[in-house]
Structure 1
Amino acid sequence: MPAKPHPLIASRPPPPDNRRTAYIWRNRALQLVVLAIIGLLVWYLIGNTLANMRARGAHAGFDFLLDPAGFEISEGLFGYESGQPFWRAFLVGLGNTVRVALSSIVVCTVLGTLLGIGRLSRNFLLRSLCTAYVELVRNVPILLQLLMWYFVLSDMLPTSDEALSPLPGLFLSKSGLVFPVPASPLSWIYAGAGLLLGVTASFLHLRRASRVLSDSGRQLPRVWPVVLMVCGGIALGYALGGLIGDTGWAFDLPEKSEINISGGAAVTPEFLAVFLGLSTYTAAFVAEVVRAGVQSVQHGQLEAARALGLGRVQQLRLVILPQAMRVILPSLTNQYLNLTKNSSLAVAVGYPDLVSIANTSLNQTGRAFECVAIIMAVYVSLSILTALFMHRFNRRADLKGLA
C-alpha cells in the first residue's frame, strides 16, 4: 500500500513549467521581430516613394494640410469656410462620414432584426414579403441603389414651395428634409448630457437586472425602464437647457412660404440618399445574420421555454435571442465594417464625405499619395475601432458554460 504524502508537501503548489514560460517568451520575441520587420518595410516603401516623387519634381509631404483649402463644403457637423486649412476640410469630411455611418448602423440593425424575425414568422404574407425584400435588395449593387434613392429624392419629389408635410413641422422636398429644432443652443448640449445620463442609468439597471436574475431567478423588467430612462434623460436635459438659455423651451419651427422653407434644421438630399441606401441595403444582410442566429438555437431550448409557459415574445427575448447572439455578433461586426467602407460610395451622389473632400484636395494640390494615405488611415482606424467595440460587446454577451 503506497504511503500517503505529507500534508505540507501535498499543499504545495506545483513547480513552475519552465518550458511553457520559455515557449511564451519565445513567441512574443518572434512577434516583436516580425512586427519590426513589417514596420521597417513600410517605412522603406514610404520613404522610397516620397524620394522618387521629389526626384521627378512632384511635391511630397503633408505640409499642404496647413494651407487654405479654397473650396466650399455644402454641409457638415463643424463650421467651415473656404479660407480655412485643408486639415479642417478633412475633419468636416470625416464628421460627415461618421454621421452617415452611425445613423445607418442604427437603422439597419433595427430594420434587419425585424426582417430576420419576420422571415421566420408563421404568417405566410409577412414571411413572403420579408423574403422578397431580402432577396431583391441584397442582389442589387449598392451603387445602383444609391443612385436610385438620389434620383427619387432629387427628381421625383416636389419643389420647396410645394413640399410634402408627412407630419406637422416636417417638410420633404427636392431641397431635403426640414424639421424643428430647439431654439436655444444650450438645449442641444444639455439634451446630449441627459442622453448620456440616461444611457448610464440604463446600463446600471441592466447590470442589476442580470445580477438579480442570476442570484434569485427573478426577472426584472428591462425594455420599458431603459426607454423611460433614456427619454427621461433627454427631456430633463432639454428642460434644463431651455431654462438656462435665452429663448426658453421654444422650438425653431420651419415655415413654408411661396418661395422656400425658412427656419428649423435641414438635411440635404445627398445625405438622405446615402443614409437610405446604406440602411436598406445592409438591413438585408443583417436580416440573414439574425435569421441564421435564431435558427442555430437548439429546438430543445424552445420546447423547454414552451414547457415553462413562456409566450412567443418571452421565448424570443429570454431564450432564443440571448443564445443566438453568439452567432449573430461576429457576422454583424462584418456588416458594420462593410457599411462603413461602403459609405465611401457617397461621392457618386455628391455627398461631401471624406473621399469627396480628399478628391477635391487632390485636384487642387496634386498630392495624390498623401490624400490616398489619409483616406486609408481613416478607414483603417474606423474599422479597427468598430471591430474592437464589437469584440468587447461580443465577449460580454457570450454565454459562459455553453458549448
Structure 2
Amino acid sequence: MSDSNLLKRLASFLLDVRTIAALLQIAFIIVVVAVVVSVGDSMFDELRRRNISPTFNFLNNRAGFDLADSGDYTANATYRDAFMVGVRNTLRVVVVGLVLTTILGTIVGICLLSHNWLVRNIARIYVEILRNTPLLVQIFVWFYIVILPMPRIQESIELPPDGITVIPVRWLLFVVFIPLLVWFTHRLPEDTLARMFAPIAGVALLIVAEMLNLFSMPLLQLELQPIAFISNRGVALPAPVATARFNEWLIFLIAGFALALGLWWFLRRRTEQTGRRYPSLLYGLLVFVIVAGAGWLVISSRPVDTALVTVDGEVVEMPLEQAREENLLTPELERYYEPTPLTINLPRRAGLRYADGMILLPEYTALLLALVVYTSAFVAEIVRAGIQAVPHGQIEAGRALGFNYVDLLRLIILPQALRVIIPPLGNQYLNLAKNSSLAIAISYTDVFQVTGTIINQTGQSVSGILMVMATYLILSLVIAALMNVINSRFQLKTSRTNTGGPLARLRARFARRASAVTR
C-alpha cells in the first residue's frame, strides 16, 4: 500500500506543470552550455593551431604606433596605455555628448509644443529630418561637408576678430531694448490689442531709426585678441589650467558647496513646512559664488616677488618680473609662481598647428556634433511626450494661480513629466554610448579603433574583442545604474504598512503555519 502511494506521489510530482517547466528549463540550459563549450573548444583548438591562443600578456609589450589626441602617450608606451587612450577618448565623447544631448533635446522638445507656428514647425522639421537619417550618414556630413571645407589653419576663423573692433550704438540698443520690449509685452494683459501690437510697434520703431541712420555712430573701440580659432584642423578653445595654489582654493570650493547644499536643503524643508516658496537654488548658488570668490581673493592676495630659476646650470634667485622678461620661466614654473588658483591658457597658431589651449580635433568635433544632434531628435520626442502626459487640469490650475509659462514648466509640468521622460531617456543615453563606436568611420581614436590597431599588430582578436565588449558593457551598466537611481527619485512614493522587517515576516509565516496545523 505504501509503495502504491509512493508511486502515485512520484507520478503526481513528475506530471506537475511546474516540474515539467523546471525540467525543460534545466534541459535547455544544459544544451546551451554544451553548444557553447563545443564551439569554444573548436575555436580555441584552431587558435592554438595557428599559435595565437587568447592571452592578455601582450598588454605589457611595446605598442610601437602613435595615436592622435593621445596626451602624453608615445610610441614607446605599452598596448595597455594605448587601450586606455582609446577608453579615455570614448569617455570624452560620451560624457560631453550626454550633457549636450540633454540640453538640446529638452529645448527642441519644448519648442515642439510652442504656440508659435514658426518655432513649432522648425522644431518638427529638425526632428523628422534627423530622426529619419542614418547616423553614419550624418557623421560623414559633419566631417566631410562641414568640418573639412573649413578655412586652412593660416586663414582660421578668429573669435573675436583680431584687431580694433568698433561697437556701434545699435549693438547696445539691441542688447537693451529688445529684452525690455519682450519683458514689457509679457507684462501686458493677455488677449488685448496692446499686447498684440506692442512687439510690432517696437520693431517698427527700430526699423525707422535704422533707416534714418540714427544708430550708426560708434560707441566703443576695442582692441581685441582672438581667444578661439576654427579651421579644418579643428577647434582651438581657451583651457583653464590649475596652478600650484589650486589645492588651497579647492578647500574653499568644497566648503562653499557644502554650505550651499545645506542652505538648499534647509529652504526646501521650510517650504514643505510653511508652504512659502523660497528661491533655494538661487540662494545656494549665491552662497557658493561668495565663498569661492572670497577664497580666490584671499589666496591671490599673497603674491610671490622672487623666483628660483636655472641660469647657466646654476640655480639662482631673482625677481619674478625679471625672470619673466628674460624668458627663464618654464610653463611649469609659470604655473607654480602664478598668484591665482587658475589661469587661462589661450590658444595660438604655431605654423601649421595650434599650440596651447584646448584643441578639439576635426574627428572628435564631427563625431560629437553628429551624436548630439542625432540623439537630441529622439530626446525631443521623449520630452514632448512626457509634457503631454501631464494632465491638462494641472496646467489649467497653474494658470489659475497666476503662473507664467516659465513657472508652469519649472514647477508643475517638468517635475511630473520627468516620471515619464526618464525611463526612455535612459535608453537613448545607452544608444549614444554604443553609437560612439561609429567613430571608426572617420578614424577617431576611440576604444574600438585603437583595439583594431592592437589586434592587427598582435593577432589577439579574441582578447581584443573581449576588451571592447567589456568596456562598452561596463559603460552601459554604469549609465543604466545611474538612470535607475534617478528614476527611483522621481517616482511616486506610496505609504506602505510597516511589517517589522524580514525577521518579523518570517515569524509571522511560521505562526500562521503553526495555527493551521493546530486547527
TM-score range normalised by the length of the shorter chain: 0.7 to 0.9
Counterpart in the other structure of 2:487 = 394
Counterpart in the other structure of 1:148 = 141
Counterpart in the other structure of 1:281 = 374
Work out whether 1:122 is the aligned partner of 2:115. Answer: yes
In 1, distance between residues paired with 2:245 and 2:280?
28
1:128-139 to structure 2, matched below 5 A, reads 128-139=121-132
For normalisation by structure 1, the TM-score amounts to 0.81
Counterpart in the other structure of 1:359 = 452
Structure with greater strand percent: 2
Counterpart in the other structure of 2:164 = none
Structure 1: give runs of 5+ residues left out of the alignment.
1-29
1:91 Cα deviation from its structure 2 partner: 0.8
2:346 to 213, 238, 253: 253
Alpha-carbon contact 1:286-1:335 (below 8 Å) kept: yes
For normalisation by structure 2, the TM-score amounts to 0.64
1:245 Cα deviation from its structure 2 partner: 3.1
Counterpart in the other structure of 2:357 = 264
Counterpart in the other structure of 1:97 = 90
Cα distance change of structure 1 residues 386 and 304 upon mapping to structure 2, 3 Å threshold: same
Cα distance change of structure 1 residues 380 and 138 upon mapping to structure 2, 3 Å threshold: same
In 2, distance between residues paired with 1:217 and 1:266?
50
Cα distance change of structure 1 residues 357 and 229 upon mapping to structure 2, 3 Å threshold: farther
Alpha-carbon contact 1:101-1:339 (below 8 Å) kept: yes
Cα distance change of structure 1 residues 192 and 285 upon mapping to structure 2, 3 Å threshold: farther
Amino acid in structure 2 at the alignment position of 1:72 = D
Counterpart in the other structure of 2:67 = 73
Cα shift readout 1:219-261 (whole Å, capped 9, x = no counterpart): 2214534655676787778778877832344433223467554
Structure 2: give runs of 5+ residues left out of the alignment.
1-22, 161-225, 303-334, 496-519
Cα distance change of structure 1 residues 75 and 57 upon mapping to structure 2, 3 Å threshold: same
RMSD, aligned CA = 3.3
The more displaced of 198-207 and 110-119 is 198-207
Work out whether 1:305 is the aligned partner of 2:394. Answer: no
Alpha-carbon contact 1:187-1:237 (below 8 Å) kept: no
Cα distance change of structure 1 residues 299 and 104 upon mapping to structure 2, 3 Å threshold: same
1:211 Cα deviation from its structure 2 partner: 2.5
1:162 to 123, 131, 155: 155
Counterpart in the other structure of 1:64 = 58
Alpha-carbon contact 1:302-1:319 (below 8 Å) kept: yes
Alpha-carbon contact 1:116-1:289 (below 8 Å) kept: yes
User: Which structure has the larger Rg?
Assistant: 2
**For 2:279, what is the secondary structure of its paired residue?**
coil
Alpha-carbon contact 2:268-2:280 (below 8 Å) kept: no
In 2, distance between residues paired with 1:378 and 1:310?
47
Counterpart in the other structure of 1:108 = 101
Cα shift readout 1:350-398 (whole Å, capped 9, x = no counterpart): 1100000011001111111111111111101110010001100111122
**For 2:373, what is the secondary structure of its paired residue?**
helix
Counterpart in the other structure of 1:177 = 235
1:183-262 to structure 2, matched below 5 A, reads 184-186=242-244, 203-225=261-283, 228=286, 245-249=336-340, 250-256=343-349, 260-262=353-355
Counterpart in the other structure of 1:335 = 428
Counterpart in the other structure of 1:4 = none
In 2, distance between residues paired with 1:124 and 1:191?
49
Q: How many residues align?
A: 370
1:263 Cα deviation from its structure 2 partner: 3.1
Cα distance change of structure 1 residues 335 and 230 upon mapping to structure 2, 3 Å threshold: farther
**For 1:178, what is the secondary structure of its paired residue?**
strand
Amino acid in structure 2 at the alignment position of 1:181 = A
